[in-house]
Amino acid sequence: MSAPLLAVENIGRRFGGFVALEGVTAAFEPNKVTAIIGPNGAGKSTFFNLLSGVLAPSAGTIRFKQRDITGTPQHRFVHLGIARSYQITNIFPELSVHENVRVAAQAFRTRYDIWRARAAMSELDERADAALAAVGLLGRRTTTAKFLAHGQQRALEIAIALVAAPELLLLDEPTAGMGPEETRDMVALIEKLAADRTILLVEHKMKMILGLSDRILVLHHGRLIADGDPCHIQSDPEVRRVYLGQNDGYA
């Protein structure tokens, strides 16, 4: 196994007395797609929030490229090479599609400059348009983001993450609320992005996960109950009991 891009050791998170995540240890190799699954409230989003600095872990360490990044402020994460999308669409609704991505690109060039004209920084336009082209939204670049269809807004959020050229991309239910057609487009996009990137993915749609992922982690009540390749996970009795066995339409 090559050196892991990301390694978490015994990480956990409590909210008051409630344990949302506990004792999760895992290492992630570069350029693989790993799915995180589990019933509602299992701690999947909490896990992502720890990996992207939104929340600090109450226990354990996070290493990214061998470096301990536990406790790093959230705004540093994207500069380290970790970008994410959220379970609930998180974009700049009143800005144009192009401006959404451009302002994300600008963070890597300048953040506090009050003097120069930002319009003159044309390489930001190019970077933004390249990210928009990658998700198929270049044709909508002047549209105000809030007027995009739901699926397009989700794609825009991925473009915002992509413009950071992240080595690790965290996608929290990228197909949430999408119909079959939009889901198919999103799967194709994730497959394309997976070619040269490490992706962690929270999803409920089992068919999609089995097709996409190299590995699956199963969370239940905040604990990691299984970790392995898709066939192994499918036949794991514990997983079948808590998750697949529910027969809630996902399986």
Partner 1 sequence: MTASVHSVAEVMAGPAGRRGWRERLARWRVPLSVLVLCLLPWVLPSQALAVNVLIYGLLAVGYNLLFGYTGMLSFGHAAFFGAGAYATGIGIGQFGLPWFAAIGYGMLAGGALAFVVGLLAIRTRGIYFSMVTLALAQLVYYTALQATSITGGENGLRGFTLARIDLFGWSIDFLDPVKKYYVLMVFAALALWFVSRILNSPFGAVIEAIRENETRARACGYDVERSKVMSFTLSGLVCALAGALFALHLAIVPLDILGIQTSGMIVMMTLLGGAGSFFGPFVGALAFLLMEDVVSLWTPHWQIVVGTVFILFVLFLPKGIWGTLLAWRAGR
Can you give the binding site for ligand ATP, defined by CB under 6 A?
15, 20, 38, 40-46, 87
* Partner whose binding site includes residue 141, from partner 1, Mg ion, ligand ATP, none (CB under 5 to 8 Å by kind): partner 1
* Partner whose binding site includes residue 41, from Mg ion, partner 1, ligand ATP, none (CB under 5 to 8 Å by kind): ligand ATP
**Start-to-end Cα distance in the chain:** 31
Question: What's the CA gap between 216 and 200, in Å, rounded?
Answer: 10
Closest to partner 1 by CB, 23 vs 177, is: 177
Q: Compute the least distance from the CB of residue 42 to ligand ATP, in Å.
A: 4
- Angle of CA points 28, 197, 188, to nearest 5°: 115
Q: Compute the least distance from the CB of residue 3 to Mg ion, in Å.
A: 29
Instruction: Report if residue 23 touches partner 1, rule: CB under 8 A.
Output: no
Restricted to residues 98-157, the positions that interact with partner 1 (CB under 8 A) are: 99, 102-104, 106-119, 121, 129, 133, 135-139, 141-142, 151-152, 155
Q: Compute the least distance from the CB of residue 82 to partner 1, in Å.
A: 10
Q: Which tokens go with 60? A: 């354990």
Q: Which residues bind Mg ion (CB under 5 A)?
A: 44-45, 87
Instruction: Report if residue 9 touches partner 1, rule: CB under 8 A.
Output: no
Cβ neighbours of residue 218 closer than 8 Å, sequence gap 6 or more:
37, 38, 224, 225, 226, 227, 233, 236, 239, 242, 243
Element (DSSP H or E) covering residue 156: helix 150-162
* Partner whose binding site includes residue 15, from ligand ATP, partner 1, Mg ion, none (CB under 5 to 8 Å by kind): ligand ATP
- The count of residues interacting with partner 1 (CB under 8 A) is 54
Cβ neighbours of residue 134 closer than 8 Å, sequence gap 6 or more:
159, 162, 192, 193
Restricted to residues 37-76, the positions that interact with partner 1 (CB under 8 A) are: 52, 54, 73-76
Return the half-sphere exposure (C-beta side, CA atoms, 13 A cut-off) of residue 64.
21
Kindly tell me the sign of the dihedral angle through the C-alpha atoms of 75, 58, 228, 210.
Answer: negative
* Partner whose binding site includes residue 74, from ligand ATP, Mg ion, partner 1, none (CB under 5 to 8 Å by kind): partner 1
The owner of tokens 């669409």 is 89
Do 11 and 59 meet the contact criterion of CB atoms below 8 Å apart? yes
Chain residues binding partner 1 by CB under 8 A are 52, 54, 73-79, 83-84, 90-95, 99, 102-104, 106-119, 121, 129, 133, 135-139, 141-142, 151-152, 155, 160, 164, 182, 185-186, 189
